[in-house]
């Protein structure tokens, strides 16, 4: 859980960071449809749940790129985490509430999947905003709204516009032109992420979905 400090004076992003944090404080979201046709077939054939797979893919991409791990620490220092763990929501149908659960990340999908299933078994039925204690500081939020195929999604966070970490929201997948498409929304802070970075997130998410054989069932 190492937090690497950023020297702003030598940081190539300094003028953009200062502008979008101090002059024109700006966050934005982008939504795109990801083709999960091949992925869904593989999951159904191997009896693997979709939600943890989506969480894993998002975590894998975030841990590839520094801009998605950049934030302020408790002392207000700017830096980036060595790696991030997902904090995801679980819906309770009986009372229409949700619970936040975090799971330790792993580049090995099978290990991550086992960690996810274990956490769901232990904490999935806890009726509370946060179920699992001792949440590490290096977490990012990811959730799913499986009841609607949205074309756009935006969260309004009132924290003086200094929340820099990405927020990922999946929607309900749907069929179009013989393909199964999944709407995905990525919300970021412009101080650390530009359109290039958000586009790269979606492009890499598509590649992971299309090439799932390389990581889903690998030894």
pLDDT in tens, 171-189: 999 999 999 999 999 999 9
Find the catalytic residue in 19, 65, 189, 190: 190
pLDDT band at 89 (very low <50, low <70, confident <90, very high): very high
Angstrom distance (rounded) from CA 57 to CA 203: 12
Say if residues 189 and 164 touch (Cβ distance below 8 Å). Answer: yes
Residue 99 has what pLDDT?
A: 96
* CA-closest candidate to residue 111, choices 40, 59, 41, 168: 59
Q: How far apart are CA 114 and CA 41, in angstroms?
A: 21
Give the mean pLDDT of the chain: 96
**190 tagged catalytic:** yes
Q: Give tens-digit pLDDT for 149-165.
A: 999 999 988 878 999 99
């Amino acid at each position: 859980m190492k937090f690497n400090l950023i020297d702003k004076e030598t940081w190539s992003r300094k003028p953009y960071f200062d502008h979008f944090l101090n002059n024109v404080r700006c966050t934005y979201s982008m939504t795109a449809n990801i083709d999960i046709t091949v992925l869904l077939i593989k999951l159904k054939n191997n009896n693997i749940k979709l939600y943890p797979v989506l969480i894993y893919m998002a975590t894998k991409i975030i841990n590839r790129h520094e801009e998605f791990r950049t934030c302020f620490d408790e002392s207000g220092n700017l830096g980036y985490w060595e790696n991030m763990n997902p904090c995801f929501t679980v819906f309770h149908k009986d009372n229409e509430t949700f619970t936040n659960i975090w799971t330790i990340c792993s580049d090995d999908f099978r290990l991550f999947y086992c960690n996810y299933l274990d956490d769901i078994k232990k904490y999935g039925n806890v009726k509370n905003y946060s179920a699992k204690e001792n949440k590490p500081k290096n977490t990012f939020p990811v959730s799913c709204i499986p009841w609607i195929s949205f074309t756009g999604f935006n969260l309004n966070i009132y924290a003086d516009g200094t929340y820099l970490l990405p927020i990922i929201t999946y929607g309900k997948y749907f069929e179009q032109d013989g393909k199964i498409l999944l709407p995905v929304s990525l919300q970021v802070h412009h101080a650390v992420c530009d359109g290039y970075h958000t586009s790269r997130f979606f492009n890499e998410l598509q590649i992971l979905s299309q090439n799932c054989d390389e990581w889903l069932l690998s030894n």
